[in-house]
């Protein structure tokens, strides 16, 4: 019995899951407390133990950068932490801004493994 | 008799007090369109010949695998790029020629095997429309060849695969 339990612990609990989650998938821009500035709230959930920083960006339909503001453009999100991020876009860019993206920032070290940079882009409705 | 009634009354009072202090703790959850990217397997470059680094198993390498979890169908596309440069390497004086490919390695729904035939490829990038809800594992192979049969200098080599999930 104890070997069966040990097997189950190793088989089910031994593998770590590292993931990157950025929601909502379809955010909406709403009036902020400033005139001429719209805002939306995004949620970044860091399940990647190897990543602590994520870079935010806003793009148009041709993937050109659109000016935006946030508390930090490179956000520190610790492992297993959820962080709500307010993203501000000028009202005049409302029709232009289409994607809000978060991209993992990888640290350079001397390990010889191939790393995976993840980027999730939500589409503004 | 009176003692017995008092004892019963005392226990009833304790029981009622315990019930009154019970608090309901709500658990709230929302299911919405969501894409989660999970780096499943880290890649390793094998060195089958002095001028080549490859993630191919036959060359002693390990191809990195990325898992995509999609909660709803037709809401996202996966865009995966194999590396075209080293992020960490010794000083290289010659050109490095890169080749690679991205393909599904495992699927949670059999219909997802069509992703490979429907994928769009350009430069070092492959795009897959995630038309079925569920989990897909994508394997990225890459090979780097140094100059014209030139030996790679000794040192650590590292490259980065980019996995994106874009809302449609």
Q: What domain range includes position B58?
A: 35-167
Each residue's pLDDT tens digit, A3-12: 444 433 334 4
Residue A86 lies in a domain: yes
Task: Tell me B167's DSSP state.
Answer: E
Q: What domain range includes position A64?
A: 20-123
**Closest Cβ opposite residue B32 in set A17, A24, A114:** A24
B48–chain A nearest CA distance, Å:
16
A5–chain B nearest CA distance, Å:
25
Residue B161 lies in a domain: yes
Residue A28 lies in a domain: yes
**Closest Cβ opposite residue A19 in set B36, B76, B159:** B36
pLDDT of res. B149: 86
Whether omega before B28 lies within 30 degrees of 0, making that bond cis, reads no
Q: Looking at the 3D structure of chain A, how many domains does it have?
A: 1
With an 8 Å Cβ cutoff, are A114 and B164 in contact?
Answer: no
Supply the ipTM of this predicted assembly.
0.80
Mean pLDDT of A24-36: 94
User: Residue A92 — φ and ψ, nearest 5°?
Assistant: -70, -15
Reduced 3-state DSSP string for A2-53: HHHHHHHHHHHHCCCCCCEEEECCCCCCEECCCCCEEEEEEEEEECCCCCCE
* Residues 8-67 in A contacting B (C-alpha not used; CB under 8 Å): 17-21, 23-26, 47-48, 50
Residue B93 lies in a domain: yes
With an 8 Å Cβ cutoff, are A110 and B88 in contact?
Answer: yes
pLDDT at A46 over 80: yes
pLDDT of res. A107: 79
Residue B72 lies in a domain: yes
Contacts of B38 in chain A (CB under 8 A): 17-20, 47
Cα–Cα distance, A69 to A39 (Å, whole number): 9
Residue A8 lies in a domain: no
CATH number at residue A97: 2.60.40.10
Residue B142 lies in a domain: yes
Residue entry with tokens 């003692």: B3
Give the contacts of A17 (CB within 8 A, at least 6 positions apart).
A47, B38
With an 8 Å Cβ cutoff, are A25 and B167 in contact?
Answer: yes
With an 8 Å Cβ cutoff, are B36 and A20 in contact?
Answer: yes
Residue A9 lies in a domain: no
pLDDT of res. B143: 96
CATH number at residue B152: 2.60.40
With an 8 Å Cβ cutoff, are A19 and B34 in contact?
Answer: no
Residue B26 lies in a domain: no
DSSP-derived 3-state class of residue B73: coil
pLDDT of res. B115: 95
The answer to whether A116 faces chain B, any CB pair under 8 Å, is yes
Give the contacts of A41 (CB within 8 A, at least 6 positions apart).
A27, A84, A85, A86, A87
Please, is B72 exposed, middle or buried when counting C-beta atoms within 10 Å of its C-beta (0-12, 13-18, 19+)? middle
Each residue's pLDDT tens digit, A54-111: 999 999 999 999 999 998 899 999 999 999 999 999 999 999 999 999 999 987 765 6
Each residue's pLDDT tens digit, A99-113: 999 999 987 765 656
Residue B85 lies in a domain: yes
Contacts of B159 in chain A (CB under 8 A): 114-115
With an 8 Å Cβ cutoff, are B42 and A115 in contact?
Answer: yes
Q: Digits of tens for pLDDT over chain B (168 positions)?
A: 556 665 666 666 555 555 556 778 888 776 777 899 999 988 999 999 999 999 999 999 999 999 999 988 999 999 999 999 998 899 999 999 999 999 999 999 999 989 999 999 999 999 999 999 999 999 999 999 999 989 999 998 999 999 999 999
Residue B28 lies in a domain: no
Residue B1 lies in a domain: no
Q: Looking at the 3D structure of chain B, how many domains does it have?
A: 1
Instruction: Say if CB B66 and CB B138 are below 8 A apart.
Output: yes
């Amino acid at each position: 019995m104890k070997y069966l339990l040990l097997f189950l612990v190793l088989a089910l609990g031994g593998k770590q899951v590292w993931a990157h989650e950025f929601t909502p998938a379809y955010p909406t821009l709403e009036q902020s407390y400033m005139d001429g500035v719209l805002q939306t709230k995004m949620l970044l959930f860091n399940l990647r133990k190897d990543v602590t920083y994520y870079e935010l960006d806003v793009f148009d339909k041709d993937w050109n950068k659109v000016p935006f503001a946030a508390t930090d453009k490179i956000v520190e999100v610790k492992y297993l932490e959820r962080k709500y991020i307010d993203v501000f876009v000028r009202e005049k860019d409302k029709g232009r801004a289409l994607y809000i993206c978060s991209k993992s920032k990888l640290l350079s070290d001397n390990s010889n493994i191939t790393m995976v940079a993840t980027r999730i882009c939500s589409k503004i409705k | 008799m009176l003692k017995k009634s008092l004892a019963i009354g005392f226990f009833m009072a304790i029981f009622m007090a315990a019930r009154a202090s019970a608090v309901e703790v709500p658990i709230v959850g929302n299911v919405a369109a969501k894409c989660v990217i999970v780096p499943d397997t880290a890649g390793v470059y094998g060195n089958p010949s002095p001028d080549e680094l490859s993630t191919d198993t036959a060359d002693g390498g390990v191809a990195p695998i990325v898992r995509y979890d999609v909660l709803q169908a037709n809401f996202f596309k996966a865009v995966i790029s194999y590396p075209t440069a080293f992020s960490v390497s010794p000083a290289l004086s010659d050109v490095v020629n890169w080749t690679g490919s991205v393909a599904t390695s495992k699927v949670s729904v059999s219909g997802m095997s069509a992703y490979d035939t429907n994928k769009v490829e350009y430069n070092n990038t492959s795009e897959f429309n995630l038309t079925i809800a569920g989990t897909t594992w994508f394997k990225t192979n890459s090979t780097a060849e140094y100059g014209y049969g030139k030996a790679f200098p000794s040192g650590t080599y590292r490259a980065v695969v980019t996995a994106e999930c874009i809302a449609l």
